[in-house]
Structure 1
């Protein structure tokens, strides 16, 4: 299938989705009956509290997800969902998605495995890869890059398999970012931040009402700086994001958003993991005396990315009982990427630990060679939500179609013998060593992949009584991937993967009072081999396309309660996730194979969100994850913990406003993020120790328009590892202090 025909197919499926949604809605119920159905006993509808500027409640359980296909407040949804609200993002002075997600226990970051794979925001949720499970406003965010937070309104982590909601993947869950959008009002905010690194950043957020139902918003960002305690070269980034909304406050709202974002930053492949003689478990070399600042990169090791993204969202309340959503995104990314993967062989390791035989010398893996890539994608999600009655039973039904097309091209480069033969001092790496590179002449010098995905989803929540309801849903998905690779003088190799599958969902929900919800849920998601060729072309091989899909299943029992007059939300959940037919990649060759492994993660989550008093904000969560490989073709791995899963993890952020509205006011805040140690491979022969960061805030509002804030991060100067892979780890920043001046008018 040609690219043109594939794109035409994706667009035609989008049109089909709109037709199906309208057809489904027309045949359900009369408007009068539906209006009655949408009103619970008592004659009123419980909706989350929203102020005139659209600010979500401090108790995030009372807010919605913002997704048409996931209706209702989080309080009533049968799934663990943690929200990092705007207030927390602002107080912590969050600048990236990775920083925001440190507030979510159980989410860790990985390094790309080389060979052209994912580098950027590569997440693992409860130990399971989530490389394709990043969404912005419910739509795929095409491309692989490090996302900046200057357009973030809030960040949501939806934990557990979510195939019915998002489609293929989402074994451990998915992350969705809600963007800042126009509202009916005038507000202007500017923030300037500077401090250790050195670091400098400025943002501008302008919202302007243009008419009775129209407003526009503009977000700008510029940044330059280095990471405290690390010897990486400095980087810079900038972005602009205008948006406009029509029909605000009416039955039909249309929002158009555009993002242009560019950054040029140093890359870090991490430090190698070494195992001393006689030991059974290896650790990063920095655990044996190498300094935190150590970086094995050089001048060529850069990530230069440019992202352009256009999003159109339409919401139409057709009747009192029917709402239609149509969301479309076009995304484009250009990227140059290179990094240096340092390897320390047996001789190097022996010299390092014994100090005998000469200087321990590291070499570079060929997997870090430079490449240029171009990614573009188009997605449309059309959803109809209907509320109606069948007799005395109330329904909330959803039907939709999700169609997307993604096109990826990667051009590889190769270093010469000066790089191949290079040997550096592991104790004192040469960061000035520059190596020339030329266009690759290998048989996979150019790699291309085109993926067409279509999904049809439907669900119905049925209230048998005002307190008891059941939710049932299913999604049918089809993933078709065409992959080509070729090089000078080599014939083109072509691979094709075509998979279709069903992902069900079911739950029973008991809401004895408006402030209490209890539920038991079951859900499944599927990962189709070949569906990640656009992000990991190194995995493209005939064996991969022939594999059976991974199947992921979750069972969850949860409870949510609002207390203190609804200001504070408490949540708890116990769960079990099972992953069958796990797919693995050889870290040295990139070859993909089915391990036949079965992995299981059991655990529980405890959370609190909102305000204890009007002046006391809290956002906290603890997660316990008991992971195990229950079956494997490698018998020795059975019973071992699953890689990248911390047994314990916790986050806490809290702040208190003293003398609010008075001249001598001050806001004091602080918190911790903590993960226990994690194994890096299925054999449990490599690990990183615990991560711990103590952060703090002190802020003073000078007047109604000016505020000064001081943020401290990792105040204990703990040695933390922020990104992990099977044989290496990336170190985080040392103790950092930043000062910000914010003006609002």
Structure 2
């Protein structure tokens, strides 16, 4: 087994495989031998074979001494991994050997004279990934951006990728922390009672990606929210497609879309046991098993179980994600495969809310100050809970009868249930009474939902004269519905309410359980909110005769039918175009320009000045130009992108404050509109703009240094708005600069002592502000509050060693926020009226055994 175990999505240890590693594939036709595009320039033979192994997801064994000093020709075109490897070996004096079990290895070619003694066949030598640290290789093919497998360098849009192993090595403590490692991506708390540990808003290129339709699972449309917490142990990788994605996936925000790639069955047997803890007393672990179920490898499986109990910096606050994943693949030959995956995800948490609040009552002795409590003070009840159970079933199929015609199909079903009970401070601005008592209330709600979606893609490659076409036609559909109860709220200041949670004394807190869960569950669920999606798309990627220029033309149609619980139904449909041009300016560098559109429905309860419901959707459009460069023989990639996104048809109030009741609602009980009152009117004339530049360098920069380095500059603007103090100014909570660095350095490697590595990272953001205020506030010089910029340094140490019997042991220690930097949530900071503290220094320990 190699030092970095291979996975189907991140098979990056290209040449470092020892004998006996693989389970056998079907004779002569390994499942991963599908034909695909390669664009590898001439270069060192070892680097070329590494790329072929990685992009083709095949293992190639070779003695490094055989490859040293040899140069491979360019490998350009569509080949199976075997064909590509043979082209790379052409003229080298070496040959490719394919065993009956489908294993690939390189050996010295036989001498041309039959009387000569046979050439000695050298056994494959494991080099343990020393020159190719697998998880950091940038150029992993993806179909999220274009619905066909393209290496990122040949994709005319920005796609960020991070593997499960990198997530673990960086010590990411939540899925939200993983998102913020992509430069230009921000997360922030909101005012939801379920707590920011369970749900956070996520923004990409200045726009939210948190709503329904912004999350894919295995490249399939999902109605789950990307803003919902989850563990990462079931995931093989996370991908982020920046920019509009309405063409393939229907209604979506223009900032981007997130894809979770679940772990898939493997042709090679692998077993992983992981344990972890930290300096705050957290604990957990994972078991991951995969391999063939029969000798031929036709049936393959994956089983993953995970448990984690994470203690927060705040007293009595914790989160507990638990998951179980089971996947089964049927791969009878190289042209067909299908996989069925099921995941059960359960997350329990104590809702984490504001850590402190400013007292604004003039008569309070603490006027203008925050409550005099320590940073880790807990305001709730011991049995406060936020709980979410999710069952996800995924099916996908791929059939490749020929290069000219291929079929992919998918279907998924998801069901969730959720409830919370949260004790919060009531009228926090009033402060404590003379004895230190603070009034509180309980908020609770339950909800559930079901969704399903599916898709069918037909594609192929056909020539027309001197042109080559990669064509695609696809259809998709989806349905989701959800129900929730009314919010159960009670406070001692509201006589007659069914609950009385009682006050909390800040000087002598007495915590206890408050038995309101049964009452919350007894609150009946309301009428379901429903949504149906249908979409159709066409795409042609044209390769021009020069072999260096490609033109993508695509058009998609989407229809959304929505019905709020008991409200008026709405139907919106729209065509979304996408065009792009790409040119390989060198054998390893590509320049591109692209344009795409998106749309998403406005809220269904908005009324125009005539009292009619507004059905005009919000629309986004993006222009992007960029350059992508393979470096160091394809072991790393540099990407640059400049973009502009305009989002129009934003709702704006059409009436001044206090005038909303001058126009009666169309009927009693009309759903609330812009201000929730039910009778305010709006106009659809707002325009928001986001533009900027993104730079990223990722991969193996040397044989001892691997890195992910990213910077983003973001310039946002309210171009059109009815708020005179926001017009022409930047959007709230969006830092202009962000920087994300993660480096892994090899310190020492030997057979006797194993391998020692060090990780060093930096996460930094410039200052940001909250919403712009009124004219009176502007006159006082307090037209907004600013959260200062900050940077967080992370440090890690790793030790890894091969043990007897092919086992591999890896120990790690991560120190997150090494210098214990004080910082605040982007949405709740000290200059405002509420505080959510950023994470304190935390030391994490993990042990991983693979065999």
Query: Which residue of 1 is the match for residue 115 of structure 2?
Result: none
**Equivalent runs, 1:114-193 vs 2, <5 Å:** 114=192, 120=199, 122-131=201-210, 132=212, 133-144=214-225, 145-193=228-276
Contact (CA 8 Å) 1:272, 1:343: kept in 2 or not?
A: no
Q: Which has the higher contact order (CA 8 A, sep 6+)?
A: 1
1:258 aligned to which of 336, 342, 345: 342
State the secondary structure of the residue aligned to 2:157: coil
Verify: 1:597 aligned to 2:686, yes or no: yes
Which deviates more from structure 2 when the two are superposed, residues 585-594 or residues 706-715?
585-594
Decide which structure has greater strand share.
1
Query: Which residue of 1 is the match for residue 850 of structure 2?
Result: 744
Q: d(CA) in 2 for partners of 1:743 and 1:708?
A: 9
Cα 1:467–1:500 change in 2 (3 A) is same
Contact (CA 8 Å) 1:707, 1:743: kept in 2 or not?
A: yes
State the secondary structure of the residue aligned to 1:100: helix
1:62 aligned to which of 124, 132, 139: 139
Q: How many angstroms does 1:369 deviate by?
A: 2.4
Cα 1:435–1:77 change in 2 (3 A) is same
Query: Which residue of 1 is the match for residue 305 of structure 2?
Result: 220
Q: d(CA) in 2 for partners of 1:285 and 1:157?
A: 41
Contact (CA 8 Å) 1:272, 1:344: kept in 2 or not?
A: no
Q: Which runs of 5+ in 1 are unaligned?
A: 1-34, 279-283, 352-356, 485-492, 532-538
Q: d(CA) in 2 for partners of 1:240 and 1:86?
A: 16
Asked which structure has the greater CA Rg, the reply is 2
Query: Which residue of 1 is the match for residue 477 of structure 2?
Result: 403
CA RMSD of aligned residues (A): 3.8
Cα 1:275–1:561 change in 2 (3 A) is farther
Contact (CA 8 Å) 2:825, 2:837: kept in 1 or not?
A: yes
Contact (CA 8 Å) 1:414, 1:437: kept in 2 or not?
A: no
Q: d(CA) in 1 for partners of 2:550 and 2:823?
A: 45
Query: Which residue of 2 is the match for residue 5 of structure 1?
Result: none
Once the two structures are superposed, residues 372-395 of structure 1 have per-residue CA deviations (whole angstroms, 9 ceiling, x without a partner) of: 111111110111122112211111
Q: d(CA) in 2 for partners of 1:552 and 1:406?
A: 24
Q: How many angstroms does 1:557 deviate by?
A: 1.1
Q: d(CA) in 1 for partners of 2:271 and 2:419?
A: 35
**Equivalent runs, 1:634-645 vs 2, <5 Å:** 634-645=723-734
**Equivalent runs, 1:356-375 vs 2, <5 Å:** 369-375=443-449
Q: Which runs of 5+ in 2 are unaligned?
A: 1-33, 43-47, 61-131, 363-367, 496-501, 653-671, 774-782
Give aligned pairs, total. 680
Query: Which residue of 2 is the match for residue 633 of structure 1?
Result: 722
Contact (CA 8 Å) 2:278, 2:843: kept in 1 or not?
A: yes
Verify: 1:659 aligned to 2:748, yes or no: yes
Q: How many angstroms does 1:498 deviate by?
A: 1.2
Query: Which residue of 2 is the match for residue 9 of structure 1?
Result: none
Once the two structures are superposed, residues 183-210 of structure 1 have per-residue CA deviations (whole angstroms, 9 ceiling, x without a partner) of: 2111111110012221111101111212
Cα 1:680–1:36 change in 2 (3 A) is closer
State the secondary structure of the residue aligned to 1:635: coil
Cα 1:433–1:442 change in 2 (3 A) is closer
**Equivalent runs, 1:141-540 vs 2, <5 Å:** 141-144=222-225, 145-211=228-294, 212=296, 213-227=298-312, 229-247=313-331, 250-271=334-355, 274=358, 291-340=374-423, 342=425, 347-348=430-431, 369-418=443-492, 420=494, 432=512, 434=514, 436=516, 446-464=526-544, 465-484=546-565, 493-530=566-603
TM-score using structure 1 length? 0.82
Query: Which residue of 2 is the match for residue 679 of structure 1?
Result: 769
Cα 1:740–1:596 change in 2 (3 A) is same
Verify: 1:618 aligned to 2:703, yes or no: no
State the secondary structure of the residue aligned to 2:486: strand
Contact (CA 8 Å) 1:95, 1:149: kept in 2 or not?
A: no
Contact (CA 8 Å) 1:273, 1:686: kept in 2 or not?
A: no
Q: How many angstroms does 1:616 deviate by?
A: 1.4
Cα 1:70–1:269 change in 2 (3 A) is farther
Q: How many angstroms does 1:176 deviate by?
A: 0.7
2:839 aligned to which of 712, 729, 733: 733
Once the two structures are superposed, residues 465-497 of structure 1 have per-residue CA deviations (whole angstroms, 9 ceiling, x without a partner) of: 31112111121111111222xxxxxxxx42212
Q: How many angstroms does 1:456 deviate by?
A: 0.7
TM-score using structure 2 length? 0.73
Q: d(CA) in 2 for partners of 1:569 and 1:556?
A: 19
Contact (CA 8 Å) 2:244, 2:597: kept in 1 or not?
A: yes
Cα 1:299–1:42 change in 2 (3 A) is closer
